[in-house]
Structure formats: C-alpha cells, structure tokens
Amino acid sequence: MSGILANLQIGILIATFSSGLTAQIPPQARASIDRILGGQGAYIPDSKVYKIVFPRSEATIVYDYQTLSPNLGLNSWVALKSGIHNEAILVGQLLLLDDEVDPVLSTALQAKLDVSGLAPSSAFDGPHLQTLDVTATGGFQDLAASFRKCLDAIQQVRRARAGGRPNTTAPDVPIESSIDPAPLDAVLAMKGVVIGGVYRAAIGAHALLRGEDLGGEMGMTTWASVAGTNDHAIAHGEFIAGTEDLQRVLKALRVKKISVTSIRNHTLGEQPQFVFVHFRGEGTALDLARAVRYALDTQVEESQASP
C-alpha cells in the first residue's frame, strides 16, 4: 500500500509541476478547435484542458425500441492542452462500430495520429463497440483537423450503410482446413506446423519482467495461424511490437488490407515495453502469408535503419 501511495504522490507532484509550465489555451485557439471539429468544447481552467465530447447515437441502441444514455461513456472524445515542447498535445478516444474500425484506423495513421490502443467496449446487448485511442503533438489547428478526419471517416461508413445496421466483419471460413505448409514456409522464412489442416508459425522475442527473462514460450511471440484452404483461407495472429515500431506495424498491416482487432498489453512493467497487435485477414493462404511477411519486413528493416 505504501508503494501505491508513493506512486500517487509522485504522480500528483509531476502533474502539478507540468501544469505550472503549460500555458492557458487562448480563446481564439478554442474557437478554431470548435470550428474544425464541429462541436462545442468545455475548458477546464484548473487543468488547462479543452475537451469536446461527441455522443454516438448508433452506440446507444440496445433493441429497436430501447436506447441507452450516452452518459454511460457511449461517445467519442478529444482533449487538448498547451504543451511544453510543442504548441499542443492531443489525447482522444474514438468509439467505433465493428465496420468502422479498419477505415478509421487507416485514417488516423494517415493523419499522423499515434494509435495506442484498440479494445472491445461492449457491455450491453446491441452493436459491438470498440474504442480506439490516439495521441499526437503539434499545432492546435493541425491536431483538430487530424481528429476531424477520423470523425469524417466514421460518417462516411455510416452514410455508405444508409442508416442500416453495422456490418459484421467476421470472415467466412471453410469448416475443413487443408493448408499446404511448404509455400507459406518459403514466404515467411519460417518452419510452420500443421495440425488438423491449420498452419501456425511463430517468432519469439525476449523481455525482462522484474529482472527475470521472458521468452516466446511465455507469451512474448509474434505468431500467425492460417486456416481453411489454399484458395480460401483466413489468418489471425499477433504482432509483438515495441513503442518505437508500433505505428509502422499498424500501417504495414493496413496497407495489405489486414484488419486490426485489438492493440493491448499482455504484461506490465517489462523491459522493453511490448504491445500486442491482434490481426485477421481473408484471402488465399499465399496472399495472407505475403501480407504477414510484408509487415515483418517493414518492422525489421525500419528498426535496423534507426540509429
């Protein structure tokens, strides 16, 4: 308990010190943020934070005759404040329906927002919900414009659906699996294993947790499984990414039209810090293997190119 209290006190001191260094958000900047985002924000003087909430009416539907209050957290939001090393810092969360995740994630990456988390957020009967967390630094207007692009991407999906219910994104996989491993081994440069016709390959990594080594057999693994047939297959798996290469992995997967289904931690306090990106895709087994290889190459080549 004493450790928790000590950490809390340190956090309060850091927050107080940082708040003292940051400037108030000028009224003209707040007006620009409202204009760009199309909302009315609230300024919290004590924290020097300007926050706008965007209720998602689609997310409140339980049944055709019943809705929930947006006050249950069924909304998207963005918060901005003046920075110490940048004009502004943005932190936001987008509440998404299943069929909005891929296009909004791609839009966020293209808009130079850092994506830091993706997780299910459904606690009630009704549409499946996901929360996508984003951060960025820059100018107030540029950050607001980047977040606006994500909101616009949501509306584009909903307009395309013409008010209908969200599409489910679950792939249609053949019941029987018979994957030929040899072509996938060649593309992935790995030796996969086939059990029950399903192919699986993995690469382990190492991290230290409380000074103790964790390896691939303890969950520090990038892996992919391919099921179905050679001509009609689904792949799913996880990429293990560090904080410095997470955005590259996400971009590489989306370039190859691979869906990202979650971004989360498996452990806390490990060194280096790892994030796990769960993915899935549908296509020929060979095309799916090539997509995974592309993401692996992007991750490794960029990391080796860094000083």
278 in a structural domain: yes
Q: What is the pLDDT of residues 217-266, one digit of tens each?
A: 888 899 999 999 999 999 999 999 998 999 999 999 999 999 999 999 88
Measure the CA–CA gap between 295 and 53, rounded to whole angstroms: 34
Q: Are residues 153 and 208 in the same domain?
A: no
Rg (CA), the chain: 22
87: domain range? Answer: 22-160
Residue 10 has pLDDT above 50, yes or no: no
Residue 195: inside a domain: yes
Q: In terms of domains, do 74 and 149 share one?
A: yes
Please state, for a pLDDT cut of 70, what percent of the chain lies above it. 79
Q: Are residues 114 and 229 in the same domain?
A: no
27 and 152 fall within a common domain: yes
Predicted local distance difference test score (pLDDT) of residue 121: 73
Does residue 235 sit in the same domain as residue 131?
Answer: no
Residue located via tokens 């029950």: 196
Same domain, 30 and 143: yes
Residue carrying structure tokens 């860094």: 306
CA distance to 111, 221, 231, 302, per residue, from 76 (Å): 17, 32, 39, 33
pLDDT at 199 over 70: yes
The β-bridge relationship of strands 221-228 and 198-204 is: antiparallel
Q: Judge whether residue 17 has pLDDT over 60.
A: no
Same domain? For 151 and 241 the reply is no
In tens, the pLDDT along 67-113 reads 444 444 578 999 999 988 899 999 999 999 889 999 999 999 999 99
Q: Quickly state the pLDDT bin for 268 (edges 50, 70, 90).
A: confident
Among 2-11, 211-220, 253-262, name the most confident range.
253-262
- Whether 108 is in a domain gets the answer yes
Q: What's the CATH code of the domain at 282?
A: 3.30.1360
The three-state secondary structure class of 243 is coil
Count of structural domains within the chain: 2
Same domain for 202 and 72 = no
Between 200 and 171, residue with greater pLDDT:
200
Does residue 86 share a domain with residue 127?
yes
Q: How far apart are CA 150 and CA 124, in angstroms?
A: 25
- Beta-bridge mates of residue 17: none
Give the per-residue pLDDT at 21: 61
Q: Are residues 244 and 284 in the same domain?
A: yes
Provide the strand spans (E) within 21-174.
42-44, 49-55, 61-63, 66-67, 75-82, 88-97, 114-120, 129-138
* Predicted pLDDT at 123: 55
Question: Exposed, middle or buried: residue 170 (CB in 10 Å: 0-12, 13-18, 19+)?
Answer: exposed
pLDDT surpassing 50 at residue 151 = yes
Query: What is the rounded CA–CA span in Å between residue 144 and residue 154?
Result: 16
**Of 33, 269, 284, 239, residue with least CA distance to 144:** 33
Q: Is residue 170 part of a domain?
A: no
Question: What residues contact residue 189 under an 8 Å CB cut-off, 6+ apart?
Answer: 293
CATH classification at residue 66: 3.30.70
Separation of alpha carbons 77 and 79, rounded Å: 7
pTM, 2 dp: 0.83
Q: Mean pLDDT across the stretch 11-18? A: 47
Q: What is the mean pLDDT of the chain?
A: 84
Tokens of 237: 């798996």
Are 151 and 202 contained in the same domain?
Answer: no
Point out the least confidently predicted range of 66-70, 135-139, 168-172, 203-207. 66-70
Question: What residues contact 82, with CB distance under 8 A and at least 6 apart?
Answer: 22, 23, 24, 25, 48, 88, 89
pLDDT, tens only, 24-74: 888 999 999 999 999 899 999 988 999 999 987 665 455 444 444 444 457
* Residue 11 placed within a domain: no
Residue 154 in domain: yes
Which of residues 160, 195, 225 is at a domain's end?
Answer: 160
What confidence score (pLDDT) does residue 166 get? 57
Find all residues with CB under 8 Å of 255, minimum gap 6, and list them.
294
